Structure 1
Amino acid sequence: MQVLIVLLPLLGALLAMPLGRGSARTAEIVTTGLVFLAALLAWWTFFAVGFGDSERTIRLFTWIAVGDLTADWAVRVDALSATMMIVVTTVSSLVHLYSIGYMSEDPSRPRFFAYLSLFTFAMLMLVTADNLLQLFFGWEGVGLASYLLIGFWHHKSSANDASIKAFVMNRVGDVGLALGIMACFLVFRSVEFDVILETVRAGGLVQPYGAAAPIALPDLQIQFLDRTYAAVEIIGVLLFIGAMGKSAQFLLHTWLPDAMEGPTPVSALIHAATMVTAGVFLVCRMSDLYAVAPGASALITVIGATTAIYAATVGLVQPDIKRVIAYSTASQLGYMFFAAGVGGYGAAMFHLTTHAFFKALLFLGAGAVIHFSHHEQDMRFMGGLRQQMPITFLMMLLGTLAITGVGIPMVTLFGAPFGFAGFVSKDMIIESAFAASEAGQSFAIYAFVIGLLAATLTAFYSWRLIFLTFGGKWRAPEEVRRHPHGVPSTMIVAMLPLAVGAVLAGMLFYKPFVGDGAAGFWEQAIHVPGAHAGEQHGLEAEAHAEPVPHGEESLAEAAREADHGDAILGEAEAAADHGGHHFPAWVLWAPFIAMVLGTIAAWFQYSRGDDPLRPGLIGEGGMLYGFLRNRWYIDDLYRNAFLKPARLIGRFLWKRGDEATIDRFGPNGLSALTGASARGAVRGQSGYVFHYAFVMLIGVTILLLIILL
């Protein structure tokens, strides 16, 4: 059955174009129906594996067998892959349904639905992989599908440029991933997750290629340039570089906002809930390795927190409704990564799951607004749509309440914190960062402070979007106000399940993901520190459990850190009890206060008065506005540091190297020499008999001289 979950979308992708020749509607119905069936099977698998059956691997056939390198084509079924399967198939099925209405006027609908299903298949291959090579196949598959979907409207040069940019930027990150896979094979002589992770958990012996004898994994060093590094650190950093590219983390993020050139359903599917979460999935899948690689984990923490604040600041001034949500995606991915960096892998997966609901809801709601407004995406030409689109307004309002983290701190319902999905999951991340900082983990305090600041900015730009789009007067051109596009019912129906998830997903998934059922739910799927300690639960265990000694760290040092964690627990228990997690009361209230401050600032700027576009704290024309509007000038930096020099070098090699040297003395030179020789020979053929007789006489004379001499 789990095999069908993966193969049904592939079947839809193969059938879409042939069926579309007869009727585009047939292609839409078949592909959508197959993905919905896959989603139903995925949910059944999720409950069966997460709350009943143990994990298993379905091996289909041997894919590669060359020497020691063996890779099976398999479907790995555990709590982590089952979670990703419900995220991918649920969002994909609803996006398929939504696209029936959104793309109703496009003549290439069968091709579009084929690409959607192909992307879904590739993503499912990625999350059910049993080894790094199969994961890499799915990894590159979603890269290809994203290229096709972003550039779907290939008649637009901006869409073509965006698809190429996404493809190239992802290839940069994929170099790191490929090197990380090679390093894993070098060290562990295998690319299978079970072999790698069991060796890491046991801290056992490994014998890399070229080593004379087995070496304890914590002691293994790899030389790079003129320095040596711990093998687990090198592997962790390389794999994370791949995750940075796919998940649009700081410095490899520039492709994500430009990818909004694709149709809005593409944005919802690829850039909100599935493709960009592949990096988070990879880090969580390799969580046992990162648990013994503090340097790599610290890098993840720094990059994740920096991405969270970078994307949040840039989102403050974007006029394009889809770009605001795109930067919001990058910011929320930053939360997930720094959660994993501080050891909160369950919290990272928790936020990944809840984020899929409310972010897909926001994208689909934005798509409805764009469809209604004749494909206008600039919020400055919207406004007043609350009366025109009441259902869409309600959907986006619920999504905004979820992403901003609206809830009541220190209040529980059925053992879970009471609030919208984002409130529960994002607060778990911030609390895990605080607990890790108290335990002395590197850069955790940076992540905690940035997490609170980003929460304030998230509330500001999210409510800014609502106020500019739905509040005030309708600022659209006259022709749009006279003849708005109606929103098809399929688009509205597709948003309803996402709205339910945005409200309830946090409370429903709290216990198994990060609560007292986390150890039993995840089992060996992800690293849950301290899961053996009966008195510790969820994130509290993740933050304060006995750390695994790294490298040359002694058992005494590990014991002292454990004692330090117990002391922190005692202090925290005296302060507050939050759904089984013990933190000071101010830590529990801090995210809520940050959200309130951001909301009030947005209301003061964009909801008061008749002109929501009046200058505010970040006025147009100012230095800060220019810095943020130009995205910290990182794109300009890349343009000046890489693009322009590459063009200059390319032009020099073209003009001076190719044309002036290779062509001149190569094919063009030989051609010119042959032509000149031919022209000379032609001049020698005068047609006069006495010329030919004279030449013959000279030839005979030379021949006689040679004979006589």
Structure 2
Amino acid sequence: MDTNLALLLVLTPFLGFLINVFFGKSLGKTVSGAIGTIAVAISFIVTLVLFNQITSTGKAIQVTLFDWIQISDIKINLGFLLDQLSVLWLLFVTGIGSLIHLYSISYMHDDENMHKFFSYLNLFVFFMITLVIGSNLLVLFIGWEGVGLCSYLLIGFWYKNQDYNDAAKKAFIMNRIGDLGLLIGMFILGYTFHTLDYSELKEIILSIKIDPSISMSLSIAALCLFIGACGKSAQIPLYTWLPDAMAGPTPVSALIHAATMVTAGIFMVTRLNFIFDNAADVQNVIAIVGAVTSLLAATIGLVQNDIKKVLAYSTVSQLGLMFLALGCGAYEVAVFHVITHAFFKACLFLGSGSVIHGLHGEQDMRKMGGLRKAMPITFWTMMISSLAISGVPFFSGFFSKDEILLTAFHHSIPLYVIGSIASVMTAFYMFRLMFLTFFKEFRGTEEQKHHLHESGSLITIPLIILAILAAFGGLISLPGHSWLNEYLAPLFTKTEGGEHHLGATEYTLMGVAVLGGLVGILIAYIKYFKQDNVPESDDNIIGLSKLLYDKYYIDEIFEAAIVKPINFLSKFFRDYIETGLSAFVFGFGKVTGEIAFQGKKIQTGSIGLYLFVFVIGLCAIVSYLFLAQ
């Protein structure tokens, strides 16, 4: 029964992919969209069944399909592990994935390749499910690479635009850099412990005495695994692909940036918490990288004018906060923020898609404004999600972000300060987005103004559901009484998050966080509502704003330091080394050909000549043997 449920969970999206690939065009847009949506919805229903089973029994479900690889004493199975963590992750992967598929039926209806789009979405969900429920690192790696492939296909879906193709290639290549780190970490663990199975790794590491050599191997493996997480979850320096991924259709942005691919790094670190708990130095690195990423991305988000770019840098910043929690050992707190972030960020991305849809592709907030009355559902759902991400009581983000900052405070005051500043900036740029988009007078064209209207029900229904979750999702982990912490407790050997009992320190920190968020909102209100400030055109941006708007010139630095030298070396080898080598190789070929050409002349076909040569050769051999005696 468990095997059948696991296979139904995994293979239904894959079946939807196959149907849409081979028959989607002939079935029509509506049918192909319905098939893709139903396929993921079935996986969501199966997840609910598994969630109920695991919650009631408290026991994980282990499914082994078959023995896959055996090298020496390393044995790897193709199997699934369905426990509290994987099923919890599946709930928002398949649940929000279903809503995004439903949304896409309307959003992509005018696209001639809609069936292909849904096939890619289904394949993406299939690989994400594989990543989450794999029982060992190799199965996780299949899903890990699969979502990387699908992100490439989806980001570059509108492939007739070369910029979109470049963005897709950038995402693919930067993820490969991180993936190399993940592979090296896997090799180290396999060599050291002779297994890649999660359960076996945990049992071995918890049962043995960690001597210096094993401790060193664990630390190096943990660092390599974290490098893999940096690529997939967009941490410095491997974060620049994620904002460029906005080139894909908006449902792709919501799927990649809210609930699935970018959370894979957090999932992997949380799943292997028993490794990172024995690598304290690496945990410190994770916390520092997360905090710096959060602040860096938040500063860039302050001045972006593309509505999706603001949300993209917001995603990078929020992921940084999650890694800050992981680095502090508060895995359940990071998971909590993953869940709340999935709710409000999916709502924000889909809401921005509704705005873009209503404005016929316009993404520049300077050309928006006044949409509140024309698009009331989009406005209120995005407002709720903006309040949540800004940490306003008592929306979901308030609880999860407060937990992160509280954990950081007890771990490191400087990291707490960095996280707090990033949170204030988050509140500012989110309400900057809201005021520029929905308030004051419309700044677009008369034609756009004439056609302004609320999006259809297939777009607004997912927005409403996600807004409700963004408002009330924080109830799963209330301070002092956290259902989520109790639910995840069996997975962790030790934790720094725990149950935070509210005392004077906790109430003070909570007040500071709320005050900081309100200050950010107030500054945005004064500047973009009261003063009716509209950002200047790109040519007029100067000073610090120019530095932030151009993203600290990180892409340009990468271009000058990495891309151009590689291109130069490639051109040098092509024009000089390869040319010389090819002449050398072709020279050998010509010599061989000439010898063969001359040698074939002795093949005359004359039997008399062959017999004469045979006799001469035989006489020569006999003479040599006679003289040798």
Equivalent residues in 2 for 1:186-585 (5 A)? 186-202=191-207, 204=208, 216-221=209-214, 230-407=216-393, 419-436=394-411, 444-484=412-452, 487-510=455-478, 515-517=481-483, 520-529=486-495, 538-540=498-500, 578=502, 583-585=505-507
1:704 is matched with none
2:622 is matched with none
1:252-278 CA-to-partner distances (Å, cap 9, x unmatched) read: 001000000000000000122210000
Among 126, 130, 153, the residue aligned to 2:135: 130
Distance 1:289 1:491, change over 3 A: same
CA shift, 1:668, in A, is 8.6
* Separation in structure 2 between the aligned mates of residue 427 and residue 610 of structure 1, nearest angstrom: 32
Do the aligned residues in 1 keep the contact of 2:482 with 2:499 (CA within 8 Å)? no
Equivalent residues in 2 for 1:130-169 (5 A)? 130-169=135-174
Return the letter of the residue paired with 2:457: S
CA shift, 1:30, in A, is 1.3
CA shift, 1:606, in A, is 0.7
1:641 aligned onto 2:561: yes
1:174 aligned onto 2:140: no
Return the letter of the residue paired with 1:622: I
Do the aligned residues in 2 keep the contact of 1:346 with 1:528 (CA within 8 Å)? no
Do the aligned residues in 1 keep the contact of 2:47 with 2:91 (CA within 8 Å)? yes
What are structure 1's unaligned runs of at least 5 residues? Answer: 205-215, 222-228, 408-418, 437-443, 531-536, 541-576, 679-709
Q: 3-state DSSP class of the match of 1:65?
A: strand
Distance 1:452 1:244, change over 3 A: same
Deviating more after overlay: 193-202 vs 126-135: 193-202
What are structure 2's unaligned runs of at least 5 residues? Answer: 598-629
CA shift, 1:51, in A, is 4.9
1:437-479 CA-to-partner distances (Å, cap 9, x unmatched) read: xxxxxxx223211111011100010000001111111111222
2:103 is matched with 98
* Separation in structure 2 between the aligned mates of residue 109 and residue 140 of structure 1, nearest angstrom: 24
1:586 is matched with 508
CA shift, 1:664, in A, is 4.2
CA shift, 1:669, in A, is 9.9
| Matched positions, count | 590
1:624 aligned onto 2:590: no
1:27 aligned onto 2:2: no
* Separation in structure 2 between the aligned mates of residue 140 and residue 502 of structure 1, nearest angstrom: 30
Deviating more after overlay: 370-379 vs 488-497: 488-497
Do the aligned residues in 1 keep the contact of 2:476 with 2:482 (CA within 8 Å)? no
Q: 3-state DSSP class of the match of 2:70?
A: strand
Distance 1:672 1:635, change over 3 A: farther
Distance 1:527 1:503, change over 3 A: farther
1:133-187 CA-to-partner distances (Å, cap 9, x unmatched) read: 1111110010011111111111110111011000000000001000000010111
Return the letter of the residue paired with 2:498: G
Alignment TM-score, normalising by the size of structure 2: 0.90
1:469-509 CA-to-partner distances (Å, cap 9, x unmatched) read: 11111111222223347622201112121111100100134
1:78-123 CA-to-partner distances (Å, cap 9, x unmatched) read: 1100111001101110010000000000010111000001000100
2:20 is matched with 16
2:602 is matched with none
Distance 1:471 1:185, change over 3 A: same
Return the letter of the residue paired with 2:267: F
* Separation in structure 1 between the aligned mates of residue 87 and residue 316 of structure 2, nearest angstrom: 24
Bigger helix fraction? 2
**Identical positions, percent:** 40
CA shift, 1:611, in A, is 4.1
Q: 3-state DSSP class of the match of 1:36?
A: helix
1:571 is matched with none
Do the aligned residues in 1 keep the contact of 2:375 with 2:454 (CA within 8 Å)? no
Cα RMSD for the two superposed structures: 2.3
Do the aligned residues in 2 keep the contact of 1:606 with 1:613 (CA within 8 Å)? no
Distance 1:51 1:607, change over 3 A: farther
Q: 3-state DSSP class of the match of 1:71?
A: strand
